[in-house]
């Protein structure tokens, strides 16, 4: 159990690393989109085109052009072809080589993101398993303690020492849940209570005390 707890800090450390990787992927893609947007803006102005005019040529809305230039979104491969044609540059020039990873790294980013998600799921699985182990152990321990306490509270015993005609007789009785479960002692008392049906030790004690008192003896 202690070994499982030792793994928890390491597990959270791995989760933090995974989150940082995911954040880096998102930030990198955002930066690449902004570079591409700046290129589109610069080339559009070089061609003396408004956003509306360029939008009409590549069959999109003016807002789409604005989003591209602001780095909010990026054009798909077909739209890149149209843009390069209307802006009189090649796709490589449009992407400026260093930001070609907007398209080329999408698969790589997706794979890394999938790896991050898998790691997070593994961490969650470990924590969930740890929770269930602790819950089961706690349930077993609590149940055992409760049962032991109950047995102590409901089990009682009584011992008698009786005298008659100068002789001493010992007897022992035990109850569970106020029900007689065991009794034994001197042979004389064993014979005395034989074939008698006693509900609990109290009724047996009264019977034995009554017998000895009636015959000049006593019980303590």
pLDDT per position as a tens digit, 34-55 = 788 888 898 889 889 999 999 9
Of 61, 84, 104, which residue is a domain's last?
Answer: 104
b/e sequence 66-105, b meaning 16+ C-beta within 10 Å: ebbbebeebbeeeebeebbebbebeeeebbeeebebbbeb
Instruction: Copy the structure tokens of residue 126.
Output: 């470990």
Whether 209 maps to a domain, the answer reads: yes
CA-wise closest residue to 67 among 85, 57, 49, 54 = 54
Mean pLDDT of the chain: 77
Whether 125 maps to a domain, the answer reads: no
Beta bridge partners of 180: 175
Please check whether residue 160 is in contact with residue 208, taking contact to mean a CB–CB distance below 8 angstroms.
Answer: yes
Q: Are residues 77 and 163 in the same domain?
A: no
Q: Are residues 76 and 160 in the same domain?
A: no
Q: Are residues 91 and 183 in the same domain?
A: no
Of 89, 104, 119, which residue is a domain's last?
Answer: 104
Pairwise CA distance, residues 40 & 205, whole Å: 105
Q: Are residues 18 and 99 in the same domain?
A: yes
Check residues 111 and 78 and name the one with the higher pLDDT: 78
b/e sequence 172-197, b meaning 16+ C-beta within 10 Å: ebbbeeeebeebebbeebeebbeeee
Q: Are residues 166 and 94 in the same domain?
A: no
Q: What is the pLDDT of residue 98?
A: 41
Q: What is the pLDDT of residue 54?
A: 92
Domain span holding position 185: 155-219
Q: Are residues 98 and 6 in the same domain?
A: yes
Q: Are residues 98 and 162 in the same domain?
A: no
Q: Are residues 92 and 161 in the same domain?
A: no
Check residues 153 and 40 and name the one with the higher pLDDT: 40
Q: What is the pLDDT of residues 124-146, one digit of tens each?
A: 888 888 888 888 888 888 766 65
Whether 12 maps to a domain, the answer reads: yes
Please check whether residue 15 is in contact with residue 120, taking contact to mean a CB–CB distance below 8 angstroms.
Answer: yes
Whether 73 maps to a domain, the answer reads: yes
CA-wise closest residue to 87 among 187, 138, 96, 29 = 96
Whether 131 maps to a domain, the answer reads: no
Check residues 209 and 63 and name the one with the higher pLDDT: 63
In the predicted model, what is the mean pLDDT of residues 15-37? 56
Total count of domains within the chain? 2
Q: What is the CATH number of the domain that holds 55?
A: 1.10.260.40
Of 36, 69, 104, which residue is a domain's last?
Answer: 104
Q: Are residues 87 and 165 in the same domain?
A: no
Whether 141 maps to a domain, the answer reads: no
Please check whether residue 208 is in contact with residue 194, taking contact to mean a CB–CB distance below 8 angstroms.
Answer: no
């Amino acid at each position: 159990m202690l070994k499982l707890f030792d793994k928890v800090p390491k597990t959270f450390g791995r989760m933090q690393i995974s989150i940082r990787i995911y954040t880096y992927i998102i930030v990198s893609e955002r930066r690449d989109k902004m570079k591409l947007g700046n290129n589109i803006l610069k080339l559009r102005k070089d061609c003396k085109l408004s956003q509306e005019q360029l939008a009409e040529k590549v069959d999109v809305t003016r807002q789409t052009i604005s989003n591209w230039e602001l780095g909010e979104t990026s054009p798909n491969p077909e739209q890149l072809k149209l843009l390069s044609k209307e802006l009189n540059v090649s796709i490589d020039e449009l992407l400026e080589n260093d930001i070609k990873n907007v398209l080329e790294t999408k698969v790589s980013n997706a794979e890394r993101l999938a790896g991050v998600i898998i790691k997070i799921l593994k961490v969650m699985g470990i924590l969930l398993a740890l929770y269930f182990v602790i819950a089961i152990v706690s349930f077993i321990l609590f149940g055992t303690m409760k049962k032991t306490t109950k047995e102590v509270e409901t089990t009682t015993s009584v011992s008698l020492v009786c005298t008659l005609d100068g002789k001493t007789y010992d007897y022992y009785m035990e109850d569970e849940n106020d029900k007689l479960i065991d009794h034994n002692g001197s042979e004389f008392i064993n014979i005395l209570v034989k074939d008698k049906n006693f509900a609990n030790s109290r009724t047996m004690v009264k019977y034995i005390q009554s017998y000895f008192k009636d015959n000049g003896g006593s019980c303590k």
